């Protein structure tokens, strides 16, 4: 079938050549191209692989994005816990009693401390610049002890809480007015260990 069709075509081509050229040449008959089914299969396979890879990449990206979001959320949760742990409490002049409005600040620390038994805190008591410089060292220690007692009364192990006094030696603010003094009459809380991957406490 094929050869019978090729022949008249070849004759037509020869006639055309004869009409144009003085020395007609016989054109070589082109060899029919073999059909490569392996390449086609490969092409299909490649396309499928690309789709699969794109899908996998997309999934990985989504997973990474989710992980990143999770990690941000986790970091935010850690930061929030750390903020709760280090939130300061304040005192009235020459007093070391826990003020009712500051009780919630200590309450927020308790579930975190209880959920993370490796967590340790240093509590530093501070005073304002009024009062005797030397007597204030004792007052600062009493203020640190107030916070520690509240936390140990709520189940935090004594050994995890260290108290020190700075007296009036480390003011946050040096203006000579009550708005400044009231900031300086404080307990500072510093996390001293066990704060990697803190677990949320049940109360959080």
Task: Return the residue of 82, 122, 154, 200 that touches another protein, per CB under 8 A.
Answer: 122
**One residue of 42, 47, 103, 133 binding another protein per CB under 8 A:** 133
In this chain, which stretch among 25-33, 50-58, 98-106, 143-151 interacts with another protein, using CB under 8 A?
143-151
Task: Report the distance separating Cα 168 and Cα 35, nearest Å.
Answer: 93
Using CB under 8 A, pick the residue from 145, 180, 191, 199 that binds another protein.
Answer: 145
140, 139, 145: which is closest to 165 by C-alpha?
140
If the CB atoms of residues 142 and 200 are measured against another protein, the closer one turns out to be: 142
Q: Which is nearer to another protein, 70 or 169 (CB)?
A: 169
Q: In the range 44-103, which residues lie near another protein by CB under 8 A? A: 94
Binding status of residue 132 toward another protein by CB under 8 A:
yes
Nearer to another protein, 194 or 201 (CB): 194
CB-CB contact of 106 with 98 (8 Å)? yes
Q: Tell me the C-alpha distance between 142 and 124, whole Å.
A: 10
**CA 140-193-162 angle, 5° bins:** 25
- Helix H segments across the chain? 2-20, 37-86, 103-107, 110-115, 135-153, 178-184
Contact 145, 125 (CB under 8 A): yes
* Cβ-based nearer residue to another protein, 132 or 204: 132
Identify the residue among 17, 80, 88, 131 touching another protein (CB under 8 A): 131
151 counts as binding another protein under rule CB under 8 A: no
CA 198 to chain centre: 14
Minimum distance of another protein from residue 165's CB (angstroms)? 4
Q: Does 163 bind another protein (CB under 8 A)?
A: yes
CB of 69 to another protein, least distance (A): 39
196, exposed or middle or buried, with CB in 10 Å at 0-12, 13-18, 19+? exposed
Residues in contact with another protein by CB under 8 A are: 94, 122, 124, 130-135, 137-142, 145, 148-149, 162-167, 169
């Amino acid at each position: 079938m094929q050869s019978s069709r090729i022949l008249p075509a070849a004759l037509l081509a020869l006639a055309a050549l004869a009409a144009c050229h003085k020395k007609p040449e016989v054109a070589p008959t082109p060899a029919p191209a073999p059909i490569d089914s392996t390449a086609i299969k490969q092409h299909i396979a490649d396309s499928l692989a690309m789709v699969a890879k794109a899908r996998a990449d997309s999934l990985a990206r989504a997973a990474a994005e989710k992980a990143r979001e999770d990690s941000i959320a986790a970091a935010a949760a850690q930061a929030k816990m750390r903020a709760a742990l280090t939130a300061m409490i304040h005192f009235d002049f020459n007093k070391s009693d826990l003020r009712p409005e500051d009780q919630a600040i200590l309450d927020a620390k308790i579930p975190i401390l209880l959920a993370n038994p490796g967590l340790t805190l240093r509590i530093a008591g501070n005073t304002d610049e009024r009062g005797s410089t030397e007597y204030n060292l004792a007052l600062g220690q009493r203020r640190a002890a107030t916070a520690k007692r509240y936390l140990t009364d709520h189940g935090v192990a004594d050994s995890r809480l260290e108290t020190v006094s700075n007296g009036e030696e480390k003011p946050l603010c040096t203006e000579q007015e009550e708005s400044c003094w009231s900031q300086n009459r404080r307990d500072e809380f510093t996390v001293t260990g066990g704060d990697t991957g803190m677990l949320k406490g049940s109360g959080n």
